[in-house]
Every structure is written in C-alpha cells, then in structure tokens.
Amino acid sequence: MIATFYDAQSWYDSLQVGLNKRLSHGFQAQVSFTYSKTLDNSSGSVAGDNSSLDYATTPWYDLSLNKGLSDFNIGKNLVINALWNSPTPKSMGAFAEHAIGGWQLGGILTLASGIPEYPSMPDTVGENTQTVNSGTITGTGGCTPQTLTNPNYRHSLVYINASCFQFSPTATAANSAYCDSPTGSTLGTGTNTNASSAPLNQCENLRGNLGRDTITGPGEASLDFSAFKNNYIRKISETFNLQFRAEFFNVTNHTNFSPPPLNNLTPFSASGAPVKTFGQITTTQLKNRQIQFALKAIW
C-alpha cells in the first residue's frame, strides 16, 4: 500500500496471521501475529509528529534522502490470549463443588518490537542544520544496524553504541570541493560560519551514511493474568452471580524500557566533543506489576 500526504509518501506491507481455538473442554485461545514494515520520507510531513521523534524540517529538495522506517513502525507484534473454565467436581460434595468449581483463569501475552529513532546534530553545527539530522553523523566501518545498539543495555542503561558514530564526514580529496569548512580554514570552497569551533578536517554540511530511523528501540514484553470465581446464588435467582475478580497486569513485573529520549540522541557537541548522555535510557514504558481485586454482580 502506498499513500501520499502533504509533501510526503508512505509505504506499508504486512503479513498478518491469526489462529483461534474455539471453546472446548472449558478452554479457548487466540494467537495474532503481525509482521510489517512502514516506510515514509516524513512521518509528520513538514510539521513534525505527535510522538516528538520526527524532525519538523525535511530535505525538501530531495525527500528520498529521508526515506526510512516510519517513526511509529512496529515490525513484529505477537499477542496470545487464553481462557480456561475449570471443571466443577460433582463427586466431592456441595462444599467442594462450591469452593473448587466456578473458576476462570485467563492470560494475555504481548511481545512487540520497538519503534525506530535516529541521532541528530546540534543546531549550531552546519549551514543547513535542519536537513542534516539524518545523515551528518556517519556510521563507522564495521558497524551494522544490529550492532548500533548495546545488547547489555539493561545493566548500563546505555542503549546506543556510541563507537559506531563519528562527528561528520572527514574531508578527503574526493569531497573537498563540496566541503564547507569552519571559519578561518582553507579547506574546501565554502565557509561554515556556524561552526567556528568545529574540527577543521570535518565537513559538517555533507550528509553521512546513516539512514533515517536506522536504530530500533527496546521492545515490549508483558504478561497479564486473571482469576475469576463465579458464585451463583440460587436463592436470589438462577442467573445471579457474585463474581470475585483478581487481575494482575504485567504479572512478571518485567521492566520495559523506553527508547532514549530526543534530548539524548545528540552524540556530539558543536565542537565535536562526545556527549556523555548520548543513547542513555531515562524512562520506562508500561507500568510495573499492578494487582486489583473486585466483586462484580451479574444478573
């Protein structure tokens, strides 16, 4: 599917699979899986998106430079839910039938990949800062999209591998004619008055080889569990049920980290010095374990 909105375009492809087990022997279950990819050249067109991950100004002269994963792309999403009605014992007497029977156990498991993001340069770097956000930071040799993130981020809370990035393309004989150099140097043909403190051998105006939304943030894993006890009170009516409900959200208390916030996505200062907070995680997504009890009257 291809869509065009404002001055931007988007592309969406997906594989969607569902499996249902109908209620039998007191058990039913459902599995839903979506494998998808959403691409665009601006998730928020020229206005920026609501999640504050998109940059407001795009390279309007060639939007293909900005083509990449959408800011809201979730590549894999798996949801499994199940419900079991426990059998009611008929041979253990009325007390056992009332105490053991009438239970319903349920669960919902959610596994999803994270949303993408990408580093940016400070506004004081480059002559055309708003258009270099997706490319001026250059991935160094040996790094791949898989090694851009730190597999041990849960211990260090540093999610992005800073060693994969350099300040901006280095001036060479091949690109010197296109390199806008810092004030006072003789490199290249242009002068970058906004980056007087930048290294003299860097070309802040040239785009690097890092694509937009190349980094995928932490995924989500959550298990919800419920236990219901149905208590039918025949003296009131045949259908009157005083149901006890115990619900556990994120029952395993698994910590789901949010991707590094926008203010932690700048790896270098205007002078080219590394920023210590680059790639650091500061918040979590979803709640920690929550438990609630309730009584529900059904008639």
pLDDT at 231: 87
pLDDT at 140: 58
pLDDT over 90 percentage in the chain: 39
- Which range of residues forms the domain containing residue 82? 2-169+207-298
Summarised one tens digit per residue, pLDDT across range 6-42 is 567 889 999 999 999 998 988 999 999 999 999 988 8
CB-based burial label for 45 (10 Å; 0-12, 13-18, 19+): middle
Q: In this structure, is residue 199 part of a structural domain?
A: no
Q: In this structure, is residue 188 part of a structural domain?
A: no
pLDDT at 173: 78
pLDDT at 48: 46
Q: In this structure, is residue 98 part of a structural domain?
A: yes
Whether residue 74 is predicted with pLDDT greater than 60 in this model: the reply is yes
Summarised one tens digit per residue, pLDDT across range 44-67 is 654 444 445 555 556 777 778 888
Q: What mean pLDDT comes out for the span 207-236?
A: 89
Summarised one tens digit per residue, pLDDT across range 139-155 is 555 687 788 899 999 99
Cα–Cα distances (Å) from 187 to 132, 197, 202, 216, 243, in that order, read 20, 15, 9, 36, 78
Summarised one tens digit per residue, pLDDT across range 166-219 is 777 777 777 777 776 554 444 454 444 444 445 556 776 777 778 888 899 999
pLDDT at 186: 47
260 DSSP 8-state letter: P
Q: In this structure, is residue 183 part of a structural domain?
A: no
Q: In this structure, is residue 175 part of a structural domain?
A: no
Cα–Cα distances (Å) from 95 to 90, 99, 237, 241, 297, in that order, read 10, 6, 20, 17, 22
The radius of gyration of the chain from alpha carbons, rounded to an integer in Å, stands at 27
Q: In this structure, is residue 192 part of a structural domain?
A: no
More confident residue, 78 or 200: 78
| Contact by Cβ (8 Å): 256, 144 | no
pLDDT at 119: 84
Total structural domains within the chain: 1
Q: In this structure, is residue 239 part of a structural domain?
A: yes
| Contact by Cβ (8 Å): 235, 163 | no
Q: In this structure, is residue 195 part of a structural domain?
A: no
CA dihedral 119, 125, 127, 133 (to 10 degrees): 0
